Structure 1
Amino acid sequence: MNSDSSPAPPIPPPPPQNVKARDFLNHLEAYLAKRDGVDKLLKISRYASKVILASSVIQGNPTLSLRLKSFESSVGVSRKAFRLGKFVQDLNALRNAHSDSKQDWVLSIIAYGGEGFYYFVEQFIWLAKSGLIDGKHSRNLQKISAWAEIIGYFGSIALKLRDLRNICDDEECLKSSIEFAIMTGKGCQEDEAKLNKLREKKLMKRLSLIQDLADGFMALDDILDGKGQFSRPLLVSSAGLLSALISTHKNWVSC
């Protein structure tokens, strides 16, 4: 048979127009299936409400203000329920932390131990706020929780600063390698791909560091009972909203 008379290969059908929509919905489903995903959306809702309440947007509407306060309080209690048993992940992180440096090991104990104890105490605060145990213990529990949280953030920030320094050192080494490859006429596509991934990692680490600083600022405000020099409701609420947006982005990217 003449090759010219052979049937033409079938033309593949065009991709459906709603592929991107389905991909987004699958991503959203996976995100909402995670406990942290729902928790961070609640965190955005809570601190967005706090920002509105702290601003002058609804000062002339006492009914809406009362509803927002009730909503914010309800979301705060709901978030504590989502943290039941979450301290276990810090126990596992501490158990799996291996380091040849004694300093890093101590910082890991401070970071994971502080955060784990914070999540453990939060369970009892939820029980107090939900009415199962006497509410008179709530204030003392909140103080203990805030101290554990800020201790955990101290260790976490120190570890992330160390990681950021290491990433920057690796980035400089890769840049030098790429420049040398260009000068000698060699290919450097692999190193360039590694450099892009390293830059993405550095960006996420910086965002995580900013989040820890914002959360640590709020924990300090809890310890000071809102009487610190920078304890302004709008500033504290904005720090909470910033932290919520960063953590939501981190969870979305990793999902």
Structure 2
Amino acid sequence: MDSKSLVADPKPQNLIPTEKPTSKNKDFLTHLEIYLSKRDGVDKLLKISRYATKIILASSLLDQEPLITRLKSFESSVGVSRKAFRLGKFVQDVNALRATHFASHSHLNLVLSVIAYGGEGLYYFVEQFVWLGKAGLIDKRRLPALQKWSAWCEFVGYFGSVSLKVIELRKIDEEEKCLVSSVDVAVVRGIKCGEEQEKLRKLREKKMMKRLSVVQDLADALMALADIRDGNGRLAAPLLVSSAGLLSAAISTHKNWVSC
């Protein structure tokens, strides 16, 4: 430790007019640093960039061929980069499955957890080989089959994930009703209920985040379905799928930012 830090500063500390703004800026930058240090943080920023580009391409807003070619190249490059960020990510689903096995769950929750984490884990595992194929290490003739398997695993995983979150939302609704009832009774009796009101506020925030998570999963499931159908059908329209991807990326970015 520097010995100077142990000596009191004899100078009066009266020149600090910018202390608060500097502190706020530092807090934001520290938050941003933590966010960008996480794999998911960078991945979601790349996802926003990719699907914003896909929306521009799908909407036919541009008619300049050189610019269109550059945007297509950028979108493809970002897509490959995102797959590199998923290396080893399937391990978190393996650990989630282990935790589910040891935790006490109902039979339905256990089955849905296996579907959700198992499907997502297989998706991330297969995506590693898709990345190797796009990077040129694996014969590209295997890519269509790998991408089909990847899309099916992802779609099945989202089915389980949405089902679990709907069950959790019902439980939150019941807990919210109980808290609202307790607060109403306390207000009528003139009893202070600051703690219950704070719990209710946090519970409603949790409920909102859970709802956003369901919307995100549905948007990602729509994209997986489009991959399964090879871009055929109304639900696989490029502009619709790209918009779903951007919505999913925005929600996930917000969730990751709040969690930091």
Quickly name the TM-score band, shorter chain normalised.
over 0.9
Pair 1:29 & 2:33 matched: yes
Measured against aligned partners, the alpha-carbon deviations of 1:164-204 in whole angstroms (never above 9, x if no partner) come to: 11111111110000001011111110000000000100010
**Alignment map for 1:14-93 (pairs within 5 Å):** 15-58=19-62, 60-93=63-96
**Alignment map for 1:95-134 (pairs within 5 Å):** 95-97=98-100, 98-134=103-139
Query: Unaligned stretches of 5+ in structure 1?
Result: 1-9
Q: Secondary structure at the match of 2:235?
A: coil
**Alignment map for 1:140-159 (pairs within 5 Å):** 140-159=145-164
TM score, norm. by length of structure 2: 0.92
The 8 Å contact of residues 223 and 245 in structure 2, kept in 1 or not, is answered as yes
* Cα distance between partner residues in 1 of 2:232 and 2:80: 24
* Cα distance between partner residues in 1 of 2:14 and 2:68: 61
* Cα distance between partner residues in 2 of 1:114 and 1:107: 10
Q: Secondary structure at the match of 1:17?
A: helix
* Cα distance between partner residues in 1 of 2:98 and 2:54: 37
* Cα distance between partner residues in 2 of 1:162 and 1:147: 23
* Cα distance between partner residues in 1 of 2:188 and 2:14: 45
Opposite residue 88 of structure 2, the aligned amino acid is G
Query: How far has the Cα of 1:13 moved from its partner?
Result: 5.2
Q: Secondary structure at the match of 1:238?
A: helix
Opposite residue 213 of structure 1, the aligned amino acid is L
Query: How far has the Cα of 1:100 moved from its partner?
Result: 3.0
Query: How far has the Cα of 1:231 moved from its partner?
Result: 1.7
Q: Secondary structure at the match of 1:163?
A: helix
Counterpart for residue 4 of structure 1: none
Q: Secondary structure at the match of 1:18?
A: helix
Opposite residue 248 of structure 1, the aligned amino acid is T
Query: Unaligned stretches of 5+ in structure 2?
Result: 1-12
Q: Structure 1: which 4+ aligned runs deviate by more than 4 Å?
A: 10-14
* Cα distance between partner residues in 2 of 1:205 and 1:108: 16
The 8 Å contact of residues 219 and 247 in structure 2, kept in 1 or not, is answered as yes
* Cα distance between partner residues in 2 of 1:134 and 1:126: 11
Counterpart for residue 139 of structure 1: 144
Give 1:173's match in structure 2, choosing from 163, 171, 178.
178
Query: How far has the Cα of 1:99 moved from its partner?
Result: 3.2
Opposite residue 82 of structure 2, the aligned amino acid is R
The 8 Å contact of residues 41 and 253 in structure 2, kept in 1 or not, is answered as yes
Query: How far has the Cα of 1:208 moved from its partner?
Result: 0.3
Opposite residue 193 of structure 1, the aligned amino acid is E
Query: How far has the Cα of 1:21 moved from its partner?
Result: 1.0
Pair 1:245 & 2:250 matched: yes
User: Which segment drifts farther, 180-189 or 93-102?
Assistant: 93-102
* Cα distance between partner residues in 2 of 1:12 and 1:185: 48
The 8 Å contact of residues 222 and 235 in structure 2, kept in 1 or not, is answered as no
% identical aligned pairs: 65
Query: How far has the Cα of 1:16 moved from its partner?
Result: 3.6
* Cα distance between partner residues in 1 of 2:178 and 2:67: 56
TM score, norm. by length of structure 1: 0.94
Q: Secondary structure at the match of 2:236?
A: coil
Pair 1:191 & 2:208 matched: no
Q: Secondary structure at the match of 1:57?
A: coil
Opposite residue 47 of structure 1, the aligned amino acid is Y
Query: How far has the Cα of 1:11 moved from its partner?
Result: 8.0
* Cα distance between partner residues in 2 of 1:16 and 1:250: 27
